[in-house]
Amino acid sequence: MTRPIQKIDKAEYQKRLKKITELFSGMVVHADHLSTYRCPYKNRLDECTAKFGCQNQRKPQKVGDPLLCAGDDKLDYRSAWETEEENNTSC
Span 43-90, pLDDT tens digits:
999 999 988 888 889 999 999 999 999 888 776 666 655 556 544 444
Residue 58, CB-side half-sphere exposure with 13 Å CA sphere: 11
Dihedral, CA of residue 30, residue 37, residue 40 and residue 27, to nearest 10: 0
Domain annotation covers residue 40 = yes
86 within a domain of the structure (yes/no):
no
Whether 87 is covered by a domain: the verdict is no
Cα separation of the two ends of the chain: 58
Distance CA 59, CA 56 (A): 10
- Is 32 within the bounds of a domain? yes
Asked if the structure places residue 89 within a domain, the reply is: no
Do the Cβ atoms of 46 and 72 come closer than 8 Å?
no
Structural domain including 45 reads 12-81
Cβ-contact 68, 58 below 8 angstroms: yes
Count of domains forming the chain: 1
Q: Specify the pTM.
A: 0.50
